[in-house]
Amino acid sequence: MLSNHVVAWIDHAQAHVIHFNPEAAETEVIKTHSSHPHNKSNANTAESTHYFNAVASALDGAREILLVGPGLEKQAFMKHLEQHHHGVAKCVMGVETVDHPTDGQLLKYARKYFLKVDQML
């Protein structure tokens, strides 16, 4: 689905990427292949790099991205984007702390966020 807006919720174990427009939404879930799912990933590991690259690939082509998550993983991911995926990093409109919403709650949050941002432009 091609859309202007994407919200990505990310933690150390998985990312939920939702591409949406006013009429529809499409969700993709990307999981890390960590053998230690309860350990927070280190952004310098090959495992984390592979995970972050997969999430970045899911974001590629978006015009505006909202990056959210409960912990520090969203900042590590943003740093990865800035170092390795400059085009995607430029499209990140905000980085917000959001606990563990359902995909429906996440989509509602993102629609409100982009409505405010779009009105300010």
Q: What is the mean pLDDT of each run of 10 residues along the chain (121 residues)?
A: 85 96 93 62 71 96 95 96 97 96 96 79 49
Helix (H) or strand (E) holding 15: strand 14-20
Q: Under 8 Å CB-to-CB from 119, ≥6 apart: which residues?
A: none
Which of 41, 39, 36, 64 is closest to 52 using CA atoms? 41
Give the per-residue pLDDT at 22: 84
Range of the domain at 115: 5-120
Please state whether the predicted TM-score (pTM) of the whole model is above 0.75. yes
- What digits encode the pLDDT tens for the residues 31-66? 997 655 444 544 457 788 999 999 999 999 899 999
**CATH number of the CATH domain containing 80:** 3.30.420.60
Instruction: Provide the β-strand partners of residue 10.
Output: 15
Give the per-residue pLDDT at 102: 96
The number of folded domains in the chain is: 1
Q: How far is CA 65 from CA 21, 39, 42, 93, 117, in A?
A: 13, 27, 23, 6, 11
